[in-house]
């Protein structure tokens, strides 16, 4: 493995949820420890299962792994860290400021930026406190801070003053006001990250076009702030040997190879490793020791028993229930890479096929769905919102208004705050809001919706909902704000999209909690790209399908009020016919 050649002291693994960061970080720790190196493995992943992987209870204290000499582990729970962080900031003003103001502060501190900054606050000592880590030759971090967080920590001081003077409605600067350590300590930590002699970043991806595009953006963002020592690991690639035994496997292999061939040039220039898809669950030492070495995929267990047909509703059954209302807003939500855009198109096509008027609107950068669907059904219209254009328009408006009177330092703070992921969500949602009004007369299917945190932030920033409520409260007139429409299950149905894997399901559950905090109750879950629903013949894929069954059961019994499972298809689901096959659970060519 290239990324293990002469490794520096710090190794950071970063990438989207579900790509295998934790497994690769654990396997790396085991390998270095087996070479006699003293290793500390640190996880700041919200979906961390390091303890489960090793069969040990770890938690927020350094714990020896008895089965692996020379290996210790530490799990920083970012949710706990973020809660403690919020308590430090909100505690002194609770009971002093009005409750509405306190709730506003709490919401400002409830986003992903707070969680990440709080986690960084926790592991800063591991980067700079030589007495704490002197015993370890290598420190491996499962999940690295984003470029956005690092840039925030590099900004000029006066975070608290910036907020107290009312210079910005901060989505990310708010958390910075609660940092207790000296700025010099953060500078030392960031310097350690940027030193290639001390730190190596390993970008973990899957062989999928969207995932590779995303990791290319991460690479450029981190390289731009000096974190240049980067390696790429493409995980979970289906071995060519499987393609000869199964049409589905052959199609997956071809798709993955095409994605690797077309990967962005900035990634092609990086040292790259490729790890084959394994038939086994990556839990336990034996599995970890085999992850980074080539294995014979034909050794997959041949006695896997799968149900002849997955006992789960199809997407079309959900759409039938949606269609009963005759109109309304349908929002598809989920983490990147789970297939929201394709499923939004499938829902729109299925509704339109029933003779209902439908407007499909997407902010997905890939326009191929628009090209495929445009004019293909007489009662289906498609629009595409350019996230980059909308975000730039929003940033310019904020800088021209709130930023007009700021000094150079204040403007720098505001500009960085506007690089927050929340900014794009707010800008795109404002563009979507112009279309939402149509949902009173037709179906509006919306791809790529904002999180509950962003909706609350948007609501608090504009105070639109509360101002309308105040003005209309005593008039007796009927009124509806966008937030009220999203909270009304008769007007809006939210579909959460996930994959049948541990981390994506946990991330979807966190998203559901986020939405519920905003008063929005998800209507259904969709488990996408299910191998189990595709009834594979490949031994390796059958093992993967078997592993999915537990996650699908978890969705059905613990998370979702109603759900559907969508199979992994041989061919990309582009075009009306294939989208309808996907909705109806059809896995074979017609």
Query: Annotated active-site positions, please?
Result: 18, 20-23, 45, 503
What SS3 state is found at 527?
strand
State how far the Cα of 94 lies from the Cα of 589, in Å rounded to an integer: 62
d(CA 266, CA 329) in angstroms, rounded, equals 39
Distance (Å, rounded) from C-alpha 159 to C-alpha 397? 22
Query: Cα(425)–Cα(429) distance, rounded to whole angstroms?
Result: 6
Phi, psi of 426 (to 5 degrees): -65, -45
CA dihedral 508, 509, 511, 517 (to 10 degrees): 160
Residues 527 and 260: beta-carbon distance below 8 Å = no
What backbone phi and psi angles, to 5 degrees, belong to 202? -115, 115
Cα separation values, 185 from 53, 182, 188, 316, Å: 33, 5, 5, 55
Residues 6+ apart with CB under 8 A from 181: 121, 124
Degrees, nearest 5: CA angle 421-426-428? 100
CB 315 within 8 A of CB 479: no
The closest of 35, 34, 37 to 9, measured between CA atoms, is: 37
Which DSSP helix (H) or strand (E) runs through 183? Answer: helix 183-194
Instruction: Give kind and range of the element (H or E) at residue 383.
Output: strand 380-384
Map tokens 């807003």 to a residue: 329
Alpha carbons 486 and 464: distance in angstroms, whole number: 14
SS3 for 45? coil
Alpha-helical regions (H) of 262-386: 265-268, 285-291, 315-323, 340-353, 368-373
Locus of tokens 């105040």 = 470
How many other CB atoms are there within 10 angstroms of residue 389's CB atom? 12
3-class DSSP state of 384: strand
| Beta strand 492-499 pairing with 328-333 | parallel
């Amino acid at each position: 493995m290239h990324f293990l050649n002469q490794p520096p002291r710090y190794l950071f693994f970063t990438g989207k949820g579900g790509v295998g960061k934790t497994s690769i970080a654990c396997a790396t720790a085991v390998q270095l420890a087996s070479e006699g190196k003293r290793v500390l493995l640190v996880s700041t992943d919200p979906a961390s299962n390091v303890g489960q992987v090793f069969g040990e209870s770890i938690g927020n204290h350094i714990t020896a792994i008895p089965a692996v000499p020379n290996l210790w582990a530490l799990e920083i729970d970012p949710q706990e860290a973020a809660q403690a962080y919020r308590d430090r900031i909100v505690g002194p003003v609770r009971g002093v400021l009005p409750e509405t103001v306190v709730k506003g502060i709490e919401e400002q501190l409830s986003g992903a930026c707070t969680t990440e900054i709080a986690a960084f606050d926790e592991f800063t000592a591991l980067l700079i406190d030589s007495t704490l880590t002197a015993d370890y030759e290598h420190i491996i971090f499962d999940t690295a801070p984003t470029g956005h967080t690092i840039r925030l920590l590099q900004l000029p001081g006066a975070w608290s003053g910036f907020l107290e003077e009312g210079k910005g409605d901060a989505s990310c600067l708010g958390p910075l006001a609660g940092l207790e350590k000296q700025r010099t300590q953060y500078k030392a930590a960031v310097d350690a990250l940027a030193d290639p002699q001390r730190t190596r970043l390993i970008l973990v991806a899957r062989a999928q076009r969207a995932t590779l595009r995303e990791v290319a953006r991460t690479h450029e963002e981190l390289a731009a702030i000096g974190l240049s020592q980067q390696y790429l690991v493409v995980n979970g690639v289906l071995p060519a040997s499987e393609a000869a035994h199964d049409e589905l496997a052959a199609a997956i292999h071809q798709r993955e190879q095409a994605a690797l061939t077309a990967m962005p040039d900035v990634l092609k220039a990086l040292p790259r490793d490729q790890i084959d898809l394994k038939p086994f669950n990556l839990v336990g030492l034996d599995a970890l020791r085999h992850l980074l070495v080539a294995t014979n995929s034909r050794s997959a267990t041949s006695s896997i028993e799968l149900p002849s047909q997955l006992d789960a509703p199809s997407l079309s059954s959900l759409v039938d229930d949606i269609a009963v209302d005759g109109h309304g807003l349908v929002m598809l939500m989920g983490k990147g890479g789970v297939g929201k855009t394709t499923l939004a198109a499938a829902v729109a096509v299925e509704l339109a096929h029933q003779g209902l008027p439908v407007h499909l609107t997407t902010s997905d950068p890939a326009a191929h769905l628009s090209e495929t669907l445009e004019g293909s059904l007489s009662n289906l219209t498609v629009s595409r919102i350019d996230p980059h254009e909308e975000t730039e328009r929003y940033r310019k408006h904020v800088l021209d208004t709130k930023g007009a009177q700021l000094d150079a330092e204040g403007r720098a703070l505001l500009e960085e705050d506007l690089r927050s992921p929340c900014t794009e969500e707010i800008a795109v949602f404002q563009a979507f809001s112009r279309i939402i009004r149509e949902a009173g007369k037709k179906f509006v299917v919306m791809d790529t919706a904002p999180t509950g945190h962003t909706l609350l932030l948007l609501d608090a920033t504009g105070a639109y909902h509360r101002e309308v409520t105040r003005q209309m409260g005593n008039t007796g007139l009927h009124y509806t704000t966008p937030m009220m429409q999203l909270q009304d299950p008769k007007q809006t149905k939210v579909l959460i999209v996930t994959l049948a894997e541990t981390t994506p399901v946990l991330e979807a559950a966190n998203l559901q909690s986020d939405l519920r905090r905003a008063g929005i109750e998800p209507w259904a879950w969709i488990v996408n790209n299910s191998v189990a629903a595709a009834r594979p013949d490949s031994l390796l894929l059958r093992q993967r399908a078997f592993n999915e069954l537990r996650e699908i059961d978890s969705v059905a019994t613990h998370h979702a009020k109603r759900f559907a499972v969508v199979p992994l298809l041989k061919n990309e689901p582009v075009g009306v016919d294939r989208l309808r096959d996907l909705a109806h659970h059809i896995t074979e060519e017609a």
